[in-house]
Amino acid sequence: MNTALSKATRQREDMQDLRDLVENWVIWRDAGFWEKFRTVWHDDGRMMATWTQGTADEFIAMNRAGWDKGVSILHFLGGSNIEIAGNRAITQTKMTISQRAEVHGVQVDVVCTGRFHDFWERREGRWGLCLRQPIYEKDRMDPVDPAARLELDPEVLARYPTGYCHLAYLQSSIGYPVKTDMPGLRGEKVAALYACGESWLAGRPIEWEGHVWGR
C-alpha cells in the first residue's frame, strides 16, 4: 500500500510540475521574461509556430526581436491532459493565441483557438520541454474599431489551412514567412503528431518535420 501511495504521490507531483511549466511558458513568454522562459526548455528543445520553426534559443531570439519591434502576441490557457510514462510525458493544453496588428490599414485582432501539444522529458531530476507543436483548430479576425471596414483577399486567405488562415493572413501581411501545413483539428498531419507522441511515450526518439532528437 505504501508503495502504491508513493507512486500516486509522485504521479500527482509530476503532473503538477508539468502543469506549472505549461503555465510558466505562457506567463514568462508574454511578459518578456526571457531568462526565466529559457528554463522551461531542454537544450535541444524545438518550437514549431506558424511564423517560425527552430530551436528554443532561435525561438527566444525571434520573440525578443519581435518584442522590441512592438509585435503583440498573447496567449490564454484552458485545461490540460497529461500522460506520463516514466521520465517522459505528453501534455495537451487548450489555448488561444491573440495577435494584434494592422491589416490593409485597419488595426485588427486575430484570435486562434487550439491546443499546445508538448513533448517533455525528465533529465537529472528536472522536467523540460523537448518539442512544442501547436494544433490550430479555428480562428477569426475582427477590426479593433467595430465601425471599420476590412476586406481580405480571398486568394491569400485560401493559401492557409482553415484552422489558422486569418492568423496566417495577418502574420504574412507584416512580413513573416508562414508555414502552410501545421496540424489542425482533423487530418493526416494531426494524426501523425498523435502517433509521434505515442512513440515518444514508448521510449523512441522524436521524429518530426525532418528532425530526429531525444534520448
Write out pLDDT tens, residues 58-106.
999 999 999 999 999 999 999 999 999 999 999 999 999 999 999 999 9
Mean pLDDT score, 22-39: 98
Mean pLDDT score, 134-148: 97
Write out pLDDT tens, residues 35-59.
999 999 999 999 999 999 999 999 9
Mean pLDDT score, 123-129: 97
- Overall CATH class of domain 2-210: alpha beta
Instruction: Give the separation between CA 110 and CA 96, rounded to whole angstroms.
Output: 10
Picking from 7-16, 86-95, 118-127, which range would have the lowest pLDDT averaged per residue? Answer: 7-16
The better pLDDT of the pair 11, 5 is held by: 11
Under the banding of pLDDT at 50, 70 and 90, the label for residue 7 is confident
pLDDT score of 9 more than 90? no
Q: Ramachandran region of residue 203, left (φ > 0), alpha (ψ -120 to 50) or beta?
A: left
Do 10 and 2 touch, CB atoms closer than 8 A? no
Q: How many CB atoms lie within 10 A of CB 108?
A: 23
- pLDDT for the residue numbered 5: 57
Do 172 and 153 touch, CB atoms closer than 8 A? no
The verdict on pTM exceeding 0.75 is: yes
Do 120 and 80 touch, CB atoms closer than 8 A? no
Instruction: Give the separation between CA 150 and CA 139, rounded to whole angstroms.
Output: 16
- pLDDT for the residue numbered 3: 72
CB-count burial class (<10 Å; 0-12, 13-18, 19+) for 147: exposed
Write out pLDDT tens, residues 168-191.
999 999 999 999 999 999 999 999
Write out pLDDT tens, residues 157-167.
999 999 999 99
- Domain ranges within the chain, ordered by starting residue: 2-210
For residue 71, report the phi and psi dihedrals to the nearest 5 degrees.
-65, 130
Which DSSP state fits 87? T
Letter string b/e over residues 122-133, b meaning 16 or more CB atoms within 10 A of that residue's CB = beeeebbbbbbb
Q: Is the dihedral of CA 172, 177, 179, 184 positive or negative?
A: negative
pLDDT score of 1 more than 60? no
